[in-house]
Structure 1
Amino acid sequence: MSFYTSLTGLQGATKDLAVISNNVANVGSTGFKKSRIEFGDIISTAPTLSPTQLIGSGTAVKNVRQQFSQGATQQSANGLDMAITGEGFFVVKPSLTSSQVSFTRNGSFTVNADRYVVDSTGANLQIYPVDGSGTVVATGIDSARNLQLPLTSGSPKGTEAVTLALNLPAADDVLPSRPIYDANNPYVFDRFDNKTYNQSSTTTIYDSLGSPVTMTNYYVKTQATPTPQWTVHTFVGDTEIMPTGQTDPLVLNFDTSGSLTSPTTAITYEQFTPSSAGPQIISQDFGNDTTQRAGVFQILSGSQDGYPVGQLEGVTVDAKGVVSASFTNGTTQALGKVMMAAFSNPSGLKQTGNAHWTVTGLSGNPRLGEAGAGDFGSIQAGALERANVDLTEELVDLIVAQRNFQANAKAIETANTLSQTIINIR
């Protein structure tokens, strides 16, 4: 009987060595969770047997239980790498059309040839759809979609507002103020003749198709006293545009100290067609910082609110899992929010390899949610969760398992010696 009792000890020690060896072998596996073997003693009994006469029959493996403690976080240079601080899991699908999902703590994500974000096995990261502010608009597994990075920012925006602040030199000469196309007058403004204007500035604006168009302002000093005045001829491409309801160009009026007195608000111009795009209306605001003072002509600031189609420049993930793309035109776009899952009994999940798990009856169904809520945890971008294996602890356990194996082998050797002694009795 002792042979079989010690045999269960050998088998248990062998399995213990296998579990520890697997932990040690995966010390460098991202998102790996170590396992712990649990034993139970075997008792053979009968209703008539006295409890004081029971002798154990060995040991048996009851569970190989996974340990889902937090692993150490390691910084990464890849912005799509993600580490979960908490109990949540990433949700991934093995293919674009698959209805099957699996769960992982391995946040090593990259972009494939079709611009889908995938993990190291090629499984697609699942996200919730969001609105422009990053708020989730639909939840549940049926609302999940594969995260794909766009190449462009979508629709361009035609310029609607231009803002300028500049200093016009007080020492500039006054040029005759005449109707623009008065052939009977020797002075006629001509944008191709720099003697007919004092200064000029250019601003790149955009039509509704995102094509750049040059807007040029020509500044003509028309009065010095009692208060300075400057006429501003505004051209978009080769077309001069006028303020709404006017037939003459915009006039800037200054006080004796050189501060702008009018216009003090944005001036809207008549509708124009800058290119093959549709009609467009813009406003121009010289603000309160435009002056006419001593010194050189200087553009103090300038901006416009249009932009072309932008090319993808970068991707970021915040602590709540919102994935945002930035583009070369200065715009950003929320692409989605990383879907998270949590389980009542994560130890009941079935391992499928590569730090992936699937649902079983022991784990229960997943609870789906978002990072930063409940026990789902938060996301740290540009980082990876290392295996939660303590190498020192595993090596000590390895020694203990080895000693257990040796002790059981010794018990079998002793039982064999006793049997041989009995056999040799004559």
Structure 2
Amino acid sequence: MSFNTSLTGLKAAQSDLSTISNNVANVGSNGFKKSVAAFGDLFASSPTQSTQQIAGLGTHLQSIKQQFTQGTLTSTGKTLDLAIAGEGMFIVKGDPPRSETSYTRNGAFSPDKDGNVLDATGQKLQVLPVDASGNVTGTGLGDLTTLQLPASKPGDPTVALANISIGQDGLVTATYADGTSGMLGKVAMASFPSEDGLKPIGDAHWQSTGNSGPPMINSAENGPLGSIHSGALESANVDVTEELVALIGAQRNFQANAKALETEGTIMSSIINLRV
């Protein structure tokens, strides 16, 4: 029985090592959120047994949860590099026919040849429509549109685009060579009733699930969404020193369980070799 108990400990330590290793490996990934493994004990007894005489059956992995804490904001000087100071997420959308919507904290955006603003995976950044005063006119998934940078002033192709600016509230403003400007929308942001329920799909992107609840969509500076910082990126929320300390602990747990297996093997060998 102690063989199985120590084996559960080895598996748990291995899961912990894998989780910590993934955190350390992604320390340079923009928008990455570290994970923490949680474990629970295994215990079984019959109604007629005294629980004071049962040692337990070992441990098991309960969950591996991502920690959506704030990462450090690093200045880049690039207008379309966006970082969130708050709990919100950018909304991006893939190409047809699937046109899947996902959510990310990695704000490394850049335009393609058609002016569409894309993230690092090629998905299009979504914005909310605004009126002439810059007020959002719709906050549903169906109201979202792709942020597209114009090559020239609408209605006058002879006036080129001079500059793009993005405010802390997410308002995207285009300034043209003749000094006029126009609003292109507000960067759409989402939050969820339960971030733990989001499904990670890689590249610091997540999809909503029944466990996360539906996205609550709005622009920045509304509720817990936080503000947007143009010209900056959010680093991974991984503290290397903290992870290395946890790695040492996981390694010792693995070694201790391996030693327990070795000891049990020695005892069993001694019993088998006994001569009456």
Classify the TM-score, shorter chain. over 0.9
Percent identity reads 52
Residue 98 of structure 1: how far off its partner (Å) = 4.4
Task: Please list the CA deviations of residues 125-148 of structure 1 after superposition, one character each: whole Å capped at 9, or x if unmatched.
Answer: 000111232221222110101111
CA distance in 1, matches of 2:88, 2:193: 11
Secondary structure, counterpart of 1:336 in structure 2: strand
Secondary structure, counterpart of 2:183 in structure 1: strand
- Structure 1 segment 255-404 matched on structure 2, within 5 A: 309-404=158-253
CA contact (8 A) 1:96 1:124 kept: no
TM-score, length of structure 2 as denominator length: 0.97
Task: Please list the CA deviations of residues 92-130 of structure 1 after superposition, one character each: whole Å capped at 9, or x if unmatched.
Answer: 001166442100000000001211000000000000111
Residue 12 of structure 1: how far off its partner (Å) = 0.5
CA distance in 1, matches of 2:136, 2:216: 16
Residue 46 of structure 1: how far off its partner (Å) = 1.0
Q: Which residue of 1 aligns with 2:106?
A: 106
Structure 1 residue 58 corresponds to structure 2 residue 46: no
CA distance in 2, matches of 1:21, 1:110: 30
Structure 1 residue 82 corresponds to structure 2 residue 82: yes
CA distance in 2, matches of 1:110, 1:123: 10
Task: Please list the CA deviations of residues 278-325 of structure 1 after superposition, one character each: whole Å capped at 9, or x if unmatched.
Answer: xxxxxxxxxxxxxxxxxxxxxxxxxxxxxx942011111000000111
Task: Please list the CA deviations of residues 6-45 of structure 1 after superposition, one character each: whole Å capped at 9, or x if unmatched.
Answer: 0000000001000000000000000000000000000011
Residue 355 of structure 1: how far off its partner (Å) = 0.2
- Structure 1 segment 7-26 matched on structure 2, within 5 A: 7-26=7-26
Secondary structure, counterpart of 1:18 in structure 2: helix
Q: Which residue of 2 aligns with 1:236?
A: none
CA distance in 2, matches of 1:96, 1:152: 27
CA distance in 1, matches of 2:77, 2:86: 22
Aligned amino acid, residue 33 of structure 2: K
Q: Which residue of 2 aligns with 1:141?
A: 141
Select the structure that is richer in helix.
2
Secondary structure, counterpart of 1:56 in structure 2: coil
Q: Which residue of 2 aligns with 1:127?
A: 127
CA contact (8 A) 1:155 1:309 kept: no
Q: Which residue of 2 aligns with 1:419?
A: 268
Structure 1 window deviating more from structure 2 (131-140 vs 377-386): it is 131-140
Secondary structure, counterpart of 2:153 in structure 1: coil
CA distance in 2, matches of 1:88, 1:139: 14
Which consecutive residues of structure 2, in runs of 5 or more, have no partner in the other structure?
none
TM-score, length of structure 1 as denominator length: 0.63
Task: Please list the CA deviations of residues 169-211 of structure 1 after superposition, one character each: whole Å capped at 9, or x if unmatched.
Answer: xxxxxxxxxxxxxxxxxxxxxxxxxxxxxxxxxxxxxxxxxxx
CA distance in 1, matches of 2:180, 2:167: 17
Greater radius of gyration (CA) = 1
After the TM superposition, list the runs of 4 or more consecutive aligned residues in structure 1 that deviate by more than 3 angstroms: 96-99
CA distance in 1, matches of 2:79, 2:250: 42
CA distance in 2, matches of 1:309, 1:144: 29
Secondary structure, counterpart of 2:184 in structure 1: strand
Aligned amino acid, residue 355 of structure 1: A
Structure 1 window deviating more from structure 2 (342-351 vs 129-138): it is 129-138
Q: Which residue of 2 aligns with 1:2?
A: 2
- Structure 1 segment 22-41 matched on structure 2, within 5 A: 22-41=22-41
Q: Which residue of 2 aligns with 1:95?
A: 95
Residue 77 of structure 1: how far off its partner (Å) = 2.2
